[in-house]
Structure 1
């Protein structure tokens, strides 16, 4: 009997975007707004950009943004969003299978919001490459789910959620070269598809590379 085919990350995410309508709200992630709203614009990299909401928000604030995703469909939607928002000239879109290829830096801000996947993803390698891509004086901003929503009594798949200290240890950033500016678990209201109100916790890391 033939074993069932397990989709690659590229197949999984392309199917998720292609086989349905818009997945996300089109609004920037609130923790990006909170953590990056005060930063002076420069060159930004948005990893796992999806349909482009975060990249478009950054571009609207004067950043020149490279948005990266594994899905062709997601990138097409992101480019359309940028055009509709009037920031097409400040955005560029690149398809990468992160962990295998990575955009050329350096960048003044590297943003990765919820770079988590139910299919194989070399998260540790990607986050180290993200840190390596930060320019002198630049910022690395990571936001990841710390666990399932409170109402999720039967998780749909097994998952290991990153801890605040665990990610810092994996990054192994030299203390002489980096300053940790935010290291926090944030709880927010999270409503289930059936309307059950609960909460979800997300971990936030904002670290700044020292000046050259």
Structure 2
């Protein structure tokens, strides 16, 4: 098992549940009004986004590098009685799901063990996998919470929407940038410390 996969297996194996199980709010905000079709959820984790999409009629391919995360996500979907999700394990820097999708979602697609520009490569593949008329949605943190004085992984860079757009290398005239946004929200610390955190969101649509 390589170091990237081992990192995420350890990350998910350290706790019985890492995330809340709810869909990411930025996904909900940007996708709630879209007509359901096929969706690709990159870095699906424990399945909160994929389950939310499937409950709204999307046919979802949900991808993660961690077998532990995928097994947990599939169990959560079964408990919720949700069908219409295909779970696939990929190291997205090395392999990618087949097909094209009406929605490709990369929510907080960060990694402290991103090697050799793997994130940018995966996002370019994500753009290639977006069907004509489809939406590519990339959301990510813009920095650490304001209350965090000594953050872990200090060398992690949080790309701006403009940097993500540049890395995608989209073809001229083939895409429409529908949204580049910076959102700041309340984000208290684990001991109730007051604070905020800012997130970036980029939404682009492929021409028909």
Scaled to the shorter chain, the TM-score interval is over 0.9
Consecutive aligned runs of 4 or more in structure 1 exceeding 6 Å deviation: none
**Correspondence 1:150 to 2:156:** no
Q: CA deviation at 1:118?
A: 1.2
Q: Paired residue for 1:189, among 186, 189, 196? A: 186
Any idea what SS the aligned residue of 1:191 has? coil
Q: Paired residue for 1:119, among 108, 113, 119? A: 113
- Corresponding residue for residue 20 of structure 1: 15
The 2-side partners of 1:14 and 1:193 are apart by 24
**Correspondence 1:165 to 2:159:** no
Q: CA deviation at 1:150?
A: 0.6
Q: Paired residue for 1:108, among 97, 102, 106? A: 102
Q: CA deviation at 1:110?
A: 0.3
**Correspondence 1:135 to 2:131:** yes
Q: Paired residue for 2:29, among 25, 34, 56? A: 34
Q: CA deviation at 1:19?
A: 2.3
Q: CA deviation at 1:49?
A: 0.2
Q: CA deviation at 1:83?
A: 1.1
- Paired residues in the alignment total 204
The 2-side partners of 1:166 and 1:118 are apart by 18
- Corresponding residue for residue 206 of structure 2: 209
Q: CA RMSD in A?
A: 1.1
Worse overlay, 201-210 or 155-164: 155-164
Q: Paired residue for 1:180, among 167, 177, 184? A: 177
Q: CA deviation at 1:185?
A: 0.5
- Corresponding residue for residue 60 of structure 1: 55
Q: CA deviation at 1:175?
A: 3.8
The 1-side partners of 2:121 and 2:32 are apart by 27
Query: Cα deviation per residue 1:91-132 (whole Å; 9 max; x = unaligned)?
Result: 110000110010012000000100101112411101100000
Any idea what SS the aligned residue of 1:14 has? helix
| Contact preservation (8 Å) 1:8, 1:120 | no
Q: CA deviation at 1:55?
A: 0.2
Structure 2: unaligned runs, 5 residues or longer: none
The 1-side partners of 2:93 and 2:15 are apart by 26
Query: Cα deviation per residue 1:30-66 (whole Å; 9 max; x = unaligned)?
Result: 0000000011101100000000000000000000001
Structure 1: unaligned runs, 5 residues or longer: 1-6
